[in-house]
Amino acid sequence: MAQKKQKSRHPSEPKVGIWIFGALGGLATTLVTGTRAAAKGLMPAQGLLTESPLCEGLDFPSLGSMVFGGHEVRRGKPRDAAVEIHERTGTIPYPLLDLLEEDYRAYGKEIRKGVLTNSGRTIRKMVGSDSTAKDDETLLEAVTRLQKEIKSFKRRNDLSTVLCVNLCSTEPKLKLTRTHQTREGLEKAIAKNQQSTVRPSTLYAYAAASLGLPFLNFTPSNGTLIPAIREIFEQEGAPYMGSDGKTGETLVKSALAPMFKYRNLKVLSWQGYNILGDRDGAVLNDAENKASKVESKDRLLHSILGYPLHTHVGIDYVPSLDDLKTAWDFIHFQGFLGVKMSLQFTWQGADAVLAAPLILDLVRFLELAQKRGEVGAQPQLASFFKSPLDCDEHDLHRQWHDLGRYLDGVRDDSPDK
Amino acid sequence: MAQKKQKSRHPSEPKVGIWIFGALGGLATTLVTGTRAAAKGLMPAQGLLTESPLCEGLDFPSLGSMVFGGHEVRRGKPRDAAVEIHERTGTIPYPLLDLLEEDYRAYGKEIRKGVLTNSGRTIRKMVGSDSTAKDDETLLEAVTRLQKEIKSFKRRNDLSTVLCVNLCSTEPKLKLTRTHQTREGLEKAIAKNQQSTVRPSTLYAYAAASLGLPFLNFTPSNGTLIPAIREIFEQEGAPYMGSDGKTGETLVKSALAPMFKYRNLKVLSWQGYNILGDRDGAVLNDAENKASKVESKDRLLHSILGYPLHTHVGIDYVPSLDDLKTAWDFIHFQGFLGVKMSLQFTWQGADAVLAAPLILDLVRFLELAQKRGEVGAQPQLASFFKSPLDCDEHDLHRQWHDLGRYLDGVRDDSPDK
Amino acid sequence: MAQKKQKSRHPSEPKVGIWIFGALGGLATTLVTGTRAAAKGLMPAQGLLTESPLCEGLDFPSLGSMVFGGHEVRRGKPRDAAVEIHERTGTIPYPLLDLLEEDYRAYGKEIRKGVLTNSGRTIRKMVGSDSTAKDDETLLEAVTRLQKEIKSFKRRNDLSTVLCVNLCSTEPKLKLTRTHQTREGLEKAIAKNQQSTVRPSTLYAYAAASLGLPFLNFTPSNGTLIPAIREIFEQEGAPYMGSDGKTGETLVKSALAPMFKYRNLKVLSWQGYNILGDRDGAVLNDAENKASKVESKDRLLHSILGYPLHTHVGIDYVPSLDDLKTAWDFIHFQGFLGVKMSLQFTWQGADAVLAAPLILDLVRFLELAQKRGEVGAQPQLASFFKSPLDCDEHDLHRQWHDLGRYLDGVRDDSPDK
Amino acid sequence: MAQKKQKSRHPSEPKVGIWIFGALGGLATTLVTGTRAAAKGLMPAQGLLTESPLCEGLDFPSLGSMVFGGHEVRRGKPRDAAVEIHERTGTIPYPLLDLLEEDYRAYGKEIRKGVLTNSGRTIRKMVGSDSTAKDDETLLEAVTRLQKEIKSFKRRNDLSTVLCVNLCSTEPKLKLTRTHQTREGLEKAIAKNQQSTVRPSTLYAYAAASLGLPFLNFTPSNGTLIPAIREIFEQEGAPYMGSDGKTGETLVKSALAPMFKYRNLKVLSWQGYNILGDRDGAVLNDAENKASKVESKDRLLHSILGYPLHTHVGIDYVPSLDDLKTAWDFIHFQGFLGVKMSLQFTWQGADAVLAAPLILDLVRFLELAQKRGEVGAQPQLASFFKSPLDCDEHDLHRQWHDLGRYLDGVRDDSPDK
């Protein structure tokens, strides 16, 4: 079905860096495992749009050309993280644990100490006392170190570019003030070491922005792509996009909701319940952290349908499920003669497995944007996000066609056409 | 939400006729009830696309301008049919039974004797021995009578046009031969009274086509819009469309399937089970009649996804459900790292309630086509059908955008623009 | 299937009174409607255990012998309440609204003003400003009035007994202190008019207990059958039972959970989500009132399975559903070789329709207990409750067999044996 | 939770043989894997009733005392079969493949050539041309060989007894005649080599019966425990039980159906759809083989509820699911005021994982029966079967309590009491 792309790297192909904030999380581990496995021909690259007919004729970095590194606050080794995933959900097949031993080791060497500044009680508790984060660093020392480590990664690996990806746990909502509106305000706060002004992802995004590197916010954390950071990306000339990867229940919602509009069936209520375990579930079990997520998931129905309706999005922690997220949605709607009817669905997906290929697609699309000199938010990538920046379109189908049109434009611009 | 249209008829507005083959069935009864209730302001016109923002600025016949009549093989009165529906499913609210008493009586006066020629054992059995069909009529006598009765309906009610709609039970598949390929062949068979050559819906469609009236095949019966009939529509200059209204499980399928393509998730299996009661369920319980239906429901996944996959469509008769059709679909798909995941949904809809507004939309769109001088199949209406004629597009979203583009064209053509 | 009992009253049969606290609620209205419809032969008495083979040979009051009355804080008429139910959910068939007109009127005449003492903000708000409750009554005046009105109901209707039933909205949890432990303490508080010491259901239960009348607490409200009240029932020689009717999701839970024990499958997690509208849903939407309910629903799994497990019970307000409660439960369990598997169910029931026959069963069983001279809690009725008094058994099957054994004992005791 | 039993064998404990017909099937492979893993302390013995509180104080063979062997028609090695299961469903954890290498080898050495006599086209096709079955053997030669091989297994391994278990694929229904009614009739047919008179499982059961060995029919095949075979078991003094292990959808049915009786809710329709892959699914995809299964699954509802109702049991082959059977049941029921409501459930279980511990329980219970001198069918084991022999009870709860009572009797009989 999918068009065959070159997965392994040709000797002449430049290498690109993928720098992951949250480098030992389940998603990062799944991402690195799957990419290396596909690059070595051990697994198909299923789940990647950039390997599908939509992207035919476009030139993206091969999976084999990608070099991974990142920041992380927990101690540990990539292969151990992969073993844990294998044992808990089986989504990483056992044989890969050995076949990728060298790849895990190489990745582990590129992981640096993360930051935990003002990350909130739940993330702190989950990380535990044995964190790698240096609590005595000032904000300025922290960002300087982060920048240095990313630059060193690029240089040491001879990379054509580095694409930065935020895969950290969802942070508690950051209260945004005037300080966050401008580069000047933010840099002052950093200089004054005003720790309560930032979240870890603010510092990570700052590091990427100030280095002019493309950036992807795959989380709903609102402290990441604040106006000040966006201003820096514009000034330094880098593309970025966010927020919150659309992988499961919200994906189905955005595919299904238009159907009711096509039939002029009035949606009365749309109740959604998500249950999941693992670190993601544990963090979202905290009401503070959950708030960011629910808001991101709940917005789109009104937008697609065009009228207010009763909605609910629940997220509950069920440890036994680990990463195998299950969601039940109940949709109550009304038709001709006022008759009420219903549709319900149960989604059972492995969250990291669904998310990892989107990240590969997104870094490829950001790399493309960068090569084309595009700067700032990239709304043509809206279909990948629950809360797409600078885009009011939530209908999955329209989002997809928007991306298709963008890619047609890319093809038209290409010299060999 | 929905734009307010005029439901009741302005005295100067011309009246249009809706001629229903299967005039006392559950769908016909629901259609007439809901239309009259909305025309009288007793019920909102929910479920009609022609009452939604998509159709803003277009001029359709008001619901109050529609006059109903039809052919039917069972004896009975419209109000009794409505009472039966109220008692079995409650989808027709009790108060309407009295408030529409006069409307039911008027409709009853416009119902004529149907035909049962070669309709198969199950339909015969369901109709019983007390059918209105005249078994001693020759095919020629039958079509002549049908034509006469429709013309008389138009004249007597002073109608600007008559739109014909096939709502009969799904017929056993008709084996198509050379006879069915041309007007000449079919008319010879009629002249020779070759009864096994036709199904009832062949005769109904012939009557409509030969009178040059727009025609809608809402059933999957393959004996309706055969090449010979389509040739006659072309020659007599009338638009038509079919086949098989997309109301429930298939609707959801065509809305959801593209999502898997947008994420390059490989669908391994898509199993669908439909359970329903009432006459529709009883007829489909016969393997011969079911065959037409299953084929119509099963085609679209391969078309949307672009690769072969394991599919199954089950239809089982569950008398206690009556018209409250329930469907369970299980979708097994594979993503990154080869991980298998699933989505399942349960659809609970009242079939006639879902179908009736589509018919109103379709007769309005056919009336529009007729006014614009459009002749033949109308593929811009594909979103309404499981097996749209002359159209390979099964993706609900693309179908909807195709319709939108067509309507934009209509608006561009309109004189007052 | 069900054994045919006499539904209508024989002239020589004594009449029994059913006094309902919450007399115009959806459940009371459904109860009175269904009982009168069955007594008049308009509807079968489906859903009553006392009409099933289990109760063969036992002598219960006929449905026709039951006379209804009650207390209520909202203004209104029974027939209007029934019309509202018909319009919202259709569970009361339209024809009954007319056929039972006289019955509704008779019931309306037996409804007296309720009490709202310390009922909490949500119930107050729902009742609105136009309540029938007399806010200037002291507690002593209130209970004296309640007693008088129930006695007058009995005398006026020539009833052999009156069975009292609490069907009020779930109250916020009452903080129990020493005052609630003894009759003396409670009566002192009433005498001193300490309003914060009681809830409305405390006063209702007090009235029944002090009159020595059998009592049924169908709600989870913890202020109803407090130790002081239970002491009074013992002293006045009346049977009673509670709490919280087991009608839907919890019923299924208590039927299914033993299965996992029978197979030694380890239940890891049992998540339950209930969604419902109507007054019940609105009241439970208040966290204070919900607390009583969730506790009642969540207790039984540990008890049946014999080990602690991860459970969750959610209740959310979905207005469009009205009384058509929907529940989704997801059960995650582990078997041989440590493999995790799942069972999920969706329950769609009309809450009042499920509850009403249980109340008829329970008043019949309480009337039987009273005739047999049984006093105090009646744990043989545990199968009807989420939180059965004086009973640790939550396994539905054991509860049912316990009831069967009790009834066998009754049969053995009966003189004509 | 579960009481800790000795899993490994004490040197003084006698060894018992488990002889499996269908020795390389998914179920046999899972059974041997899990038993050896638990015996070695690598896995808990979850899913075994004989390891639960119900069986406290009873003396069963330890898992470590069990020695496995069997007959098989397909070529192959146990470890390869286990690898295949790991790769397809992950239900056998990867590490066991190495840790049990020696155990798999030992088991492989005890596998002998099976028989394929009259097994039907689908089983033949699945086995392929490379079967181990000797097509030129007469029936008499076959049973003589089977007997010899089982006796040799017992002698060579110094076993106290051998328990025989039929785990072959479901066979097409055998038409039973007078020949199958008596030992004499059957032995004549064998002597005359009337191959169409028997299925493979007839020959296997004959071998076990004629050797006086306990026998377990875990399949629905009707040619296994025919009257002639049962006569031989009686004469040779061995206990046996069947048929068709109750592992999934039917288990849930038999746990849930009584609930409707307890509430006198009338079940109108109970539709069940099973989808599964692997060899089991492939064999049941043949209408001939499916017939045996559906009959076994469909019987119990009428029996539990006490009245006829509309039921349906579907089984469809969905290769991508392998052994991860999924079932959807829709239950339509009617209550008070004639209101229709519904319950639906989705069961997702790994069939072999659910079945394997039942087989361990059953061989332990049969060994107990044998030691106690019990001969013939063992209806106290009804809870394990879809079609329990000599038992009309299908209510899971009653079946379980019957087993409990039997075990209480065993305890009462035991000398040290």
Q: What is the pLDDT of residues D65-88, one digit of tens each?
A: 999 999 999 999 999 999 999 999
Residues with pLDDT less than 50, chain A = 1-4, 417
Residues of C within 8 A of B43 (CB-CB) are none
Nearest chain D alpha carbon to B272: D273
Please judge whether B312 and D310 are an interchain contact, meaning their C-beta atoms are less than 8 angstroms apart: no
Q: How far apart are CA A136 and CA A142, in angstroms?
A: 10
Please judge whether A321 and C332 are an interchain contact, meaning their C-beta atoms are less than 8 angstroms apart: yes
Q: Which of B61, B69, B51 is nearest to B9 (CA)?
A: B61
User: With bands split at pLDDT 50, 70 and 90, how would you rate the model's confidence at D3?
Assistant: very low
Residue C326, H or E segment: strand C324-334
Please judge whether A49 and B265 are an interchain contact, meaning their C-beta atoms are less than 8 angstroms apart: no
Q: Which of C88, C278, C307, C330 to mutate to test the interface with A (most CBs of A within 10 A)?
A: C330
Reduced DSSP (H G I as helix, E B as strand, rest coil) percent helix, strand, coil of chain A, to 5: 50, 20, 35
Q: What is the pLDDT of residues C154-206, one digit of tens each?
A: 999 999 999 999 999 999 999 999 999 999 999 999 999 999 999 999 999 99
- What are the strands, taking DSSP E only, across B57-190? 66-72, 111-113, 159-166
Q: How far apart are CA C10 and CA C8, in angstroms?
A: 7
Of B90, B95, B346, the CB nearest to C90: B90
Q: How far apart are CA B148 and CA B135, in angstroms?
A: 18
Residues of A within 8 A of B2 (CB-CB) are 264
Longest Cα separation, chain A:
69
Q: Cα distance from C363 to chain D (closest Cα, Å)?
A: 15
Q: How far apart are CA D102 and CA D78, in angstroms?
A: 11
Q: How far apart are CA B183 and CA B231, in angstroms?
A: 6
Provide the terminal-to-terminal Cα distance of chain B, rounded to the nearest Å.
Answer: 25
Average pLDDT rounded to a whole number, residues D247-257:
94
Of C262, C354, C383, the CB nearest to D262: C383
Cα angle value D281/D285/D291 (rounded, 5°):
105
Q: How far apart are CA D290 and CA D281, in angstroms?
A: 9
pLDDT above 60 for C417? no
Q: How many CA atoms lie within 13 A of B13 on its CB side?
A: 17
Find the chain C residues whose C-beta atoms sit closer than 8 A to any C-beta of B: 86, 90, 94-95, 346
Q: How far apart are CA D31 and CA D26, in angstroms?
A: 8
Please judge whether D346 and C344 are an interchain contact, meaning their C-beta atoms are less than 8 angstroms apart: yes
Alpha helices in C325-378 (DSSP H): 351-371
Please judge whether D344 and C346 are an interchain contact, meaning their C-beta atoms are less than 8 angstroms apart: yes
Confidence (pLDDT) at C135: 79
Q: How far apart are CA D96 and CA D38, in angstroms?
A: 11
State how far the alpha carbon of B148 is from the alpha carbons of B155, B190, D108, D137, in Å. 11, 17, 82, 77
Confidence (pLDDT) at D99: 97
Q: How far apart are CA B109 and CA B106, in angstroms?
A: 5
Mean pLDDT of all residues in chain B? Answer: 94
Query: For residue B169, what is the DSSP state?
Result: P
User: With bands split at pLDDT 50, 70 and 90, how would you rate the model's confidence at B3?
Assistant: very low
Average pLDDT rounded to a whole number, residues C399-404:
95
Residues of C within 8 A of B346 (CB-CB) are 346
Give the long-range contacts of residues A6-11, CB within 8 A, separation 24 or more: A6/A62, A6/A64, A7/A38, A7/A39, A7/A41, A7/A45, A7/A62, A7/A63, A7/A64, A8/A39, A8/A40, A8/A41, A8/A62, A8/A63, A8/A64, A9/A39, A9/A62, A9/A64, A9/A65, A10/A62
Interface size A-B, in CB pairs within 8 Å, comes to: 178
Please give the share of chain D, as a percent, with pLDDT higher than 70: 97
pLDDT above 60 for B291? yes
Please judge whether D321 and B332 are an interchain contact, meaning their C-beta atoms are less than 8 angstroms apart: yes
Task: Specify whether the CB–CB gap between A332 and A268 falls below 8 A.
Answer: yes
pLDDT above 50 for C340? yes
Q: Which of C91, C263, C270, C359 to mutate to test the interface with D (most CBs of D within 10 A)?
A: C263
Residues of C within 8 A of A268 (CB-CB) are 320
Task: Specify whether the CB–CB gap between A131 and A150 falls below 8 A.
Answer: no
Q: What is the pLDDT of residues D146-157, one digit of tens each?
A: 999 999 999 999
Confidence (pLDDT) at D148: 98
Q: Cα distance from C329 to chain A (closest Cα, Å)?
A: 10
Cβ contacts of B144 within 8 Å, gap of 6 or more: none
Please give the share of chain C, as a percent, with pLDDT higher than 90: 86
Please judge whether B343 and A344 are an interchain contact, meaning their C-beta atoms are less than 8 angstroms apart: no
Q: How far apart are CA C63 and CA C66, in angstroms?
A: 6
> Angle, nearest 10°, between helix axes A287-298 and A249-262?
30
Confidence (pLDDT) at B2: 38
Find the chain D residues whose C-beta atoms sit closer than 8 A to any C-beta of A: 86, 90, 94-95, 346
Confidence (pLDDT) at D121: 87
Confidence (pLDDT) at C2: 38
Q: Which of A271, A313, A337 to mutate to test the interface with C (most CBs of C within 10 A)?
A: A271
Of D268, D319, D328, the CB nearest to B320: D268
> Angle, nearest 10°, between helix axes C200-210 and C183-191?
120
Average pLDDT rounded to a whole number, residues D106-124:
93
Find the chain A residues whose C-beta atoms sit closer than 8 A to any C-beta of C: 268-269, 271, 273, 275, 310, 312, 314, 316, 318-321, 326, 328, 330, 332, 334, 340, 342, 344, 346
Other Cβ atoms less than 10 A from the Cβ of D127: the count is 20
pLDDT above 60 for D270? yes
Q: Which of C35, C92, C336, C354 to mutate to test the interface with D (most CBs of D within 10 A)?
A: C336
Nearest chain B alpha carbon to C96: B94
State how far the alpha carbon of B256 is from the alpha carbons of A248, B299, C74, in Å. 13, 15, 47
Q: How far apart are CA B300 and CA D97, in angstroms?
A: 43
Q: Which chains touch D (3 or more CB pairs under 8 A)?
A: A, B, C
Enter the tokens of residue C35: 């009982």
Amino acid at A50: T
Pairing of strands C266-276, C310-317: parallel
Enter the tokens of residue B271: 């199993």
Q: Cα distance from A389 to chain B (closest Cα, Å)?
A: 20
Q: How far apart are CA D229 and CA D199, in angstroms?
A: 13
Confidence (pLDDT) at A2: 38
Average pLDDT rounded to a whole number, residues D96-112:
98
Please judge whether A259 and B251 are an interchain contact, meaning their C-beta atoms are less than 8 angstroms apart: yes
Average pLDDT rounded to a whole number, residues C231-243:
97
Task: Specify whether the CB–CB gap between B199 and B119 falls below 8 A.
Answer: yes
Please, what sign has the CA dihedral across residues A130, A131, A136, A141?
A: positive
Q: What is the pLDDT of residues B36-94, one digit of tens each?
A: 999 999 999 999 999 999 999 999 999 999 999 999 999 999 999 999 999 999 999 99
Average pLDDT rounded to a whole number, residues B295-322:
89
Q: How far apart are CA B183 and CA B188, in angstroms?
A: 8
Q: How far apart are CA A415 and CA A409, in angstroms?
A: 12
State how far the alpha carbon of C397 is from the alpha carbons of A131, B243, C258, D267, in Å. 52, 52, 9, 18
Q: How far apart are CA C78 and CA C30, in angstroms?
A: 10
Confidence (pLDDT) at C381: 98
Task: Specify whether the CB–CB gap between D61 and D364 falls below 8 A.
Answer: yes
Nearest chain C alpha carbon to A326: C330
Of A90, A95, A346, the CB nearest to D90: A90
Task: Specify whether the CB–CB gap between B296 and B244 falls below 8 A.
Answer: yes
Amino acid at A6: Q
Q: Cα distance from D85 to chain C (closest Cα, Å)?
A: 13
Residues of B within 8 A of C90 (CB-CB) are 90
Q: Cα distance from D38 to chain A (closest Cα, Å)?
A: 18
Q: Which chains touch A (3 or more CB pairs under 8 A)?
A: B, C, D
Q: How far apart are CA B261 and CA A75, in angstroms?
A: 38
> Angle, nearest 10°, between helix axes C200-210 and C227-236?
20
Nearest chain A alpha carbon to C329: A328
Q: Cα distance from B44 to chain C (closest Cα, Å)?
A: 16
Q: Which of A46, A94, A98, A322 to mutate to test the interface with D (most CBs of D within 10 A)?
A: A94
Please judge whether B328 and D332 are an interchain contact, meaning their C-beta atoms are less than 8 angstroms apart: no
Average pLDDT rounded to a whole number, residues C349-375:
97
Torsion of CA D41, D46, D49, D54, to 10 degrees: 90
Please judge whether A326 and C326 are an interchain contact, meaning their C-beta atoms are less than 8 angstroms apart: no
Average pLDDT rounded to a whole number, residues D372-386:
97
Task: Specify whether the CB–CB gap between B386 and B300 falls below 8 A.
Answer: yes
Pairing of strands B111-113, B310-317: unpaired
Mean pLDDT of all residues in chain A? Answer: 94
Which of helix, strand or coil describes residue D216? strand
Q: How far apart are CA B181 and CA D263, in angstroms?
A: 61
Whole-angstrom Cα Rg for chain B:
21
Confidence (pLDDT) at A299: 75
Task: Specify whether the CB–CB gap between D231 and D182 falls below 8 A.
Answer: yes
Please judge whether B269 and D321 are an interchain contact, meaning their C-beta atoms are less than 8 angstroms apart: yes
Cβ contacts of D399 within 8 Å, gap of 6 or more: D254, D382, D383, D388, D391, D393
User: With bands split at pLDDT 50, 70 and 90, how would you rate the model's confidence at C337?
Assistant: very high
Please judge whether B353 and A341 are an interchain contact, meaning their C-beta atoms are less than 8 angstroms apart: yes
Please judge whether B318 and D332 are an interchain contact, meaning their C-beta atoms are less than 8 angstroms apart: yes
Confidence (pLDDT) at C5: 55
Please judge whether D310 and B318 are an interchain contact, meaning their C-beta atoms are less than 8 angstroms apart: yes
State how far the alpha carbon of D56 is from the alpha carbons of C334, D382, D398, D404, in Å. 21, 20, 20, 11
Which of helix, strand or coil describes residue D140? helix
Q: How far apart are CA D92 and CA D103, in angstroms?
A: 14
Q: Cα distance from A302 to chain B (closest Cα, Å)?
A: 12
Q: What is the pLDDT of residues B148-194, one digit of tens each?
A: 999 999 999 999 999 999 999 999 999 999 999 999 999 999 999 99
Average pLDDT rounded to a whole number, residues B362-388:
97
- What length does chain A have? 417
Confidence (pLDDT) at B167: 97
Q: How many CA atoms lie within 13 A of B408 on its CB side?
A: 6
Enter the tokens of residue A143: 């960002």
Q: Which of D253, D262, D358 to mutate to test the interface with C (most CBs of C within 10 A)?
A: D262
Enter the tokens of residue A358: 């989107």
Task: Specify whether the CB–CB gap between B149 and B315 falls below 8 A.
Answer: no
Q: Which of D87, D88, D94 to mutate to test the interface with A (most CBs of A within 10 A)?
A: D94
Confidence (pLDDT) at D169: 92
Cβ contacts of B47 within 8 Å, gap of 6 or more: A263, A264, A265, A335, A336, B353, B354, B356, B357, B358
Please give the share of chain C, as a percent, with pLDDT higher than 70: 97
What are the helix and strand counts (H, E) for chain B? Answer: 15, 11
Confidence (pLDDT) at A298: 66
Confidence (pLDDT) at D129: 83
Confidence (pLDDT) at B212: 98
Q: How far apart are CA C289 and CA C123, in angstroms?
A: 9
Find the chain B residues whose C-beta atoms sit closer than 8 A to any C-beta of C: 86, 90, 94-95, 346
Residues of D within 8 A of B342 (CB-CB) are 326
Mean pLDDT of all residues in chain C? Answer: 94
